[in-house]
Chains A and B, each alone.
Chain A
C-alpha cells in the first residue's frame, strides 16, 4: 500500500542548471583504484610514523 507521506519524503529537489558546477565539484569521481591508492598511502604513512 502506498503511504503518501512516507513516499513523498523520497522526492528531493532537482538540481537546476545554474547548480551544474556545484554538482560536478561535489561529484565523487574516485574509483576503486583511487581508493586502494589512498589506503596504501595511509598504510605507508602509518608505517613511516612507527619507524
Chain B
C-alpha cells in the first residue's frame, strides 16, 4: 500500500510516519481501524446470511480503506452468492490490482476462469435476465416470467431474477407464487430490504390474521415440506411395498408359475401314466380274481359233489350198519334195541337195503309200539303220568301205522292234560284229528279240545 505524506508527498511507513517531515498521521490509523471495524461487522452479517447488510458495511469498510483486501474479497464473495457475478469479478480484479501478493482474490478469479461452463452459464443468465427486463418494459409479462424461470433454474442464487419474478407474479395477481419467490430470496439473503418490503405488502394484501415474519414463514414451509416429505416417504414405502408385491406376483406369474405349471403338468402326466398302469394292473387283478372265483366255484362244486358222494356213501354205510345192528338185536330178541336201530337208519337210496329195512320194521316196530302203549296206558290208569308220558311217547315214536296208533296219541294227550300240560295236551288232540280224522275217538277228542280251549 502506498500511503503518502499530506505535506511532502513521501511514502509513509507501515506506522503511517513520514520520515521527511517526521510526522505520524493518526488519521490514517483511525480510518484503517474504522475500516476494520466495518469489515468485522460485515463478516458477522455475512455469517448470519444477511448478505445485503454485509455488502453495505463492507462497502463502507473499503471506502475507509481501499487496501482492506479481506473486506473487498468478502464483498466479491457476497456478490457472487447473490448471483451478481460480474460485480463479484470486478471486486476481485480490483483487489488483485491493489494487493497483487498473497491475495486470495487471484485464486477466486482463477477458479472462475477455469470453469468456462459456469462462465457461459452466468453470461447466459445475465443476458436472459436483461431480455426479461425488456419484455417487462414492453408489457410481455408472460414471456418475461417464462424467461426468468429459466434464469433462476440456471442460476438458483440470482436474487435480481427472483425479485423481478415476484414483482411480475404480483402484477399477474399470483400472490402465492410471488410470496414463494420472495421467500427464496430471503433464504439466500435473510435481510434483503426490497424482498422484505414486498413480502410484508403481500401479507397485508392477503389479509392473513397473523402476519408471519419471513423466518416464520420459512419455518412453516419447512415444517410443511418435512410433513410432505414424511407423507411422501410413507407413500413411497407403500408404493415400494405394493410394487414389491406386484413384482413378486409378476415373478411368480411369469417365472415361478410357468415352472411350477410345467412341473405340475409333468407330475400330472406321470400320475396319469401311473393311473393307467394301475388301471391295467387292476384290470389284470380283476381278471385274475374272476378266474380265481370261477376256479373256486368249480372247485366248490366239485367238493360239494364229492361231499354228496361221500354222504351218500356214508348213508349207505350207515344204513347197512343200522340194518345189521337192528337185525342182530331182533335175532337176539331185543326188540327195543332193534327198534331203536331201525328208527335211526336213514334212507340209503339202495332199494334192496331199503326193502330189507322196511320188512324188518314191520316185524319189529308194531310189537314194540304196542308194548309201550300197554305199559303207558297202565301208568296212565294208575296216574303215573311221567311213566305214562315216557312210554306213550316211545309208542308214538315206534308207531308203524297200526290200528291203535290214534289211541296212543289220544292217551298221550289225556296224560298231558291230567299232568297239567294243557298246551301239549291240545297239540296231541289236534294231531289225532289231523292224522286220523276218522278215528272212533273223534267225539272225545273234540270235546277235550273244546274243554281245554276255554
Q: Which A residues are closer than 8 A to B by beta carbons?
A: 1-2, 4, 7-8, 10-11, 13-20, 23-24, 27, 29-34, 36-37, 40
Contacts and interface: CB of A to CB of B under 8 A. Distances in A.
Given A2-B202, A13-B130, A14-B126, A27 B66 contact: no
Given A14-B129, A33-B28, A37-B6, A19 B160 contact: no
Contact of B133 (A7, A11, A16, A23): A11
A2 B88 CA distance: 30
Nearest 8 CB-CB pairings of A with B: A31-B66, A15-B86, A13-B130, A17-B123, A4-B171, A14-B126, A23-B90, A40-B6
Contacts of B136: 8, 11
A10 to B, nearest CB: 7
B6 A29 contact: no
A24 B167 contact: no
Contacts of B3: 33
Given A13-B130, A14-B130, A29 B160 contact: no
A17 B136 CA distance: 22
Contact of B137 (A8, A16, A18, A29): A8
B194 interface: yes
Contacts of B394: none
A51 to B, nearest CB: 16
Contact of A2 (B64, B85, B133, B201): B201
Nearest to B163: A11
16 contacts: A1-B204, A8-B136, A8-B137, A11-B163, A14-B86, A15-B87, A16-B123, A17-B89, A23-B86, A23-B87, A27-B90, A29-B94, A31-B66, A32-B64, A33-B66, A37-B4
A20 B89 contact: yes
Interface centre among A1, A20, A31 (most CB of B within 10 A): A31
B191 to A, nearest CB: 17
A8 to B, nearest CB: 6
Interface of B: 3-4, 6, 27-28, 31, 35, 62-67, 84-87, 89-90, 93-94, 98, 119, 122-123, 126-127, 129-130, 133, 136-137, 160, 163-164, 167, 170-171, 194, 198, 201-202, 204-205
A17 B122 CA distance: 8
Contacts of A37: 4, 6
Interface of A is mostly: helix
Contacts, number: 89
Given A14-B129, A14-B130, A17-B122, 6 more contacts: A8-B136, A17-B126, A23-B86, A23-B87, A24-B94, A30-B66
Contacts of B167: 2, 4, 7-8, 11
From B66, B136, B198, residue with most partner A Cβ within 10 Å: B66
Contacts of A34: 66
B201 A1 contact: yes
Nearest to A31: B66
A19 to B, nearest CB: 7
Contact of A33 (B65, B84, B202): B65
Contact of A11 (B27, B63, B160): B160
B343 to A, nearest CB: 148
Contacts of A15: 86-87, 126
A24 B95 CA distance: 11
Nearest to B137: A8
B66 A20 contact: no
B6 to A, nearest CB: 5
B127 A16 contact: yes
Contact of B198 (A2, A13, A23): A2
B160 A20 contact: no
B326 to A, nearest CB: 154
